[in-house]
Structure 1
């Protein structure tokens, strides 16, 4: 994905993907991160903490209904969603510059989840130093490019589709 500043003035920029996946019984999630932002009453990040055990998906495990709508930092830019009953999974590998991962797991009975590699912390544009949270300032005519690879894996075969 590429964003180009076609104006004559500098502009703040950020990019990200927001893939949604079906939440079938037993869906599993895997990604490693060093920190997570807790949301305030306005549903925007306000406090950065180490990842608590209940939100630690460094080892693939059942997602359940943990109720996340949070931005993770220090993730290794690799995540997977796996449906063991169907024998299929999706692996995501993000390029440097997609240094945040938003995970959205709405409460039941919602039937979807989202695992979202993004360049910046939610609401970073409104923080005192947006660039410290992933926002990039593009000069006139400059581009920002970020790459995400998504692969489908079939259990047992190792096949990538």
Structure 2
């Protein structure tokens, strides 16, 4: 990287993998690659090293909530907390505020990178918290942990998510056991929940990641998913052990399948879109001062059978 680049990439090389992080650009990921004889193979769509738009990163963390919040904010107890729009072109605040701030990087072990953030009511929002991202490269994959600890005086609802971008080939498929999906309006906020999937929307038996727009949260997720790239004879498995351990198929995940472009997103999330305004606030966790919420995700790659 150039010495005058304001967002240098910090690299970790271990177990036949290369991981690049960009602490100054929202604590984002620049690249996650497999080292192959024919050259590096990107598991996530790589950042170009220049574009400051966080949506051009390979992945970023969503904290202290994921996706959109409507109605100008939310009410906790008897207090309405106003939330500002935080992305040009978006009518609602989106993906929290951790992705908009600079993080601090440390390397506690030869196979581990960590980034930390202390956020104090960023741009006037009510959240005060400490956050941690931990990346551990292991043989055959990576363990990724995101945690947030509430440091404010008054309890607030929290949520977490990861926002990885996957390169898609013509034959790429997504396999994820789910039970339902939130249908959206044009904005796109959820308007109705259904267990009858629209055509080409069901990932249970292998969804084509090329197709019409999907930007929707799924319910009843088992906590496991698999992406296959037959052109590369490769598959990547994702699991959230906490969801799997409950054995209740009660997790949430989100698919963003744009109609054009080289990549799609499959996001492990702790709550559906605009959960702040859904009855019961599903998936959100109200944290008292000092309490912590954690999302741990395990990624494992292997050759296709």
Question: Is contact 1:33–1:51 with CA below 8 Å preserved after alignment?
Answer: no
Name the counterpart of 1:69.
Answer: 215
Q: Deviations over 1:47-66 (max 9, x none)?
A: 00004253222123533314
Q: Among residues 281, 287, 290, which one is paired with 1:141 in the alignment?
A: 290
CA distance in 1, matches of 2:212, 2:259: 8
Partner of 2:235: 89
DSSP 3-state at the match of 2:264: strand
Partner residue, 1:103 = 255
CA RMSD of aligned residues (A): 1.7
What secondary structure is seen at the aligned counterpart in 1 of 2:232? coil
- The C-alpha deviation readout for 1:55-78, integer Å capped at 9, x for no partner, is 222123533314211100001111
- Runs of at least 5 residues in structure 1 that lack an aligned partner in the other structure: 157-161
> How many aligned residue pairs are there?
153
Secondary structure class of the residue paired with 2:228: strand
Find 2:272's aligned residue among 104, 121, 124: 121
Cα distance in 1 for residues equivalent to 2:196 and 2:223:
16
Match of 2:304 in 1: 155
- Alignment partners' CA distance in 2, 1:113 and 1:137: 31
Gaps of 5+ in 2: 1-145, 244-249
TM-score, length-scaled by structure 2: 0.48
Give me the TM-score of the superposition, normalised by structure 1.
0.87
Distance between the aligned counterparts of 1:122 and 1:139, measured in 2? 23
- 3-state DSSP of counterpart to 1:96: helix
Q: Report the alpha carbon displacement of residue 141 of structure 1 after superposing the two structures with TM.
A: 0.8
Larger RCO (CA within 8 A; separation ≥ 6): 1
**CA separation of 1:122/1:47 partners in 2, compared to 1, >3 Å: closer, same or farther?**
same
Runs of 4+ in 1 over 4 A off after TM superposition: none
**Counterpart-to-counterpart distance in 2, 1:49 and 1:128:** 16
Taking the aligned partners of 1:34 and 1:62, their CA distance within structure 2 comes to: 18
1:2 corresponds to: 147
Tell me the equivalent position of 2:176.
31
| Separation in structure 1 between the aligned mates of residue 231 and residue 279 of structure 2, nearest angstrom | 46
After superposing the two structures, state which structure 1 stretch, 15-24 or 96-105, moved more. Answer: 96-105
The answer to whether 1:44 aligns with 2:193 is no
The answer to whether the Cα contact below 8 Å between 2:160 and 2:295 also exists between their aligned partners in 1 is: yes
